[in-house]
Structure 1
Amino acid sequence: MDGKLKAVGKLQQLEEKRRDRIGQQLDVMRQRHAYLSAQLSQLSALKAHAGQSALLRPSLNSATLMNLNSVDQMLQKMLRHQEQEQAVMQAECASMQKVLAGKHARVQGLENVLERWRKKQSYEKAKKEQRLIEDIINSRFKRKAI
């Protein structure tokens, strides 16, 4: 039984390390997601500012309009790319959360098994000690009876 307890204890430690590593990866992904969100909002603000700055100019010629149009298209592509990257990051975060929940459930299950086996071992030990005490008492009683 001691071998089983040691094996389950080591397995539990391994699973805890894996769970912690996945938790750290999830934190890194969340930080990247927050960074991408900030970039997305900055790009949106830049696009809005570029459009407003063109309206504030007193004269618009064809070269300025072409430049403004190309800047607007470039910013729109960047916005789409950032939105897609953010969606991918959200999906990855959700996936990592599911994996983390699974690992946590596994660790909890191993903890429960370990605790149950320890209780069983202590019960068996107490039962064995009780038998030994009963045997000692019975042998003393038999000696006195003889």
Structure 2
Amino acid sequence: MTRPISGLDVPLAVLVARQREAAAVEEWNRLHPIGTPVTAYPGLRPEDDPGTERLTTCTRSKAALLGGHTAVVWVHGHGACIALTHVDLRTRATAGEAAEYRHLLDASEAAFAQMACDHPEACTCDDGGHP
């Protein structure tokens, strides 16, 4: 069964999948603000490849519907979006992560800008370090 959308016949299964993904975006954004601690898997999930890359990070955007078909979110430490199916919530960030996330989300935070950076090789600031 198909339904016309803008002159195209779209299978009903595709429409249902799009609605499901759109609902996932709405639910994610309702429950998880920007800055939510997550573990993200840019490639395969660990159950599919035990050696897959894991990012212990936080979200840097609201979730969105990519191309009208995939629920995604952007995270710190990765340039592209990641499907919500490849993002696991973490219950809480460590104190150090929380401070770094606040800084990443608000680079004008005065207290953070005054701190000496003892990890410039790992710093995620655009300027390569803190003043």
Q: TM-score range by the shorter chain?
A: under 0.3
Instruction: Report which of the two has the higher share of helix.
Output: 1
Higher RCO (CA-CA < 8 Å; seq separation 6+): 1
Bigger proportion of residues as strand: 2
Flag the structure with larger Rg.
1
With structure 1 as the length reference, what TM-score do the two structures score? Answer: 0.23
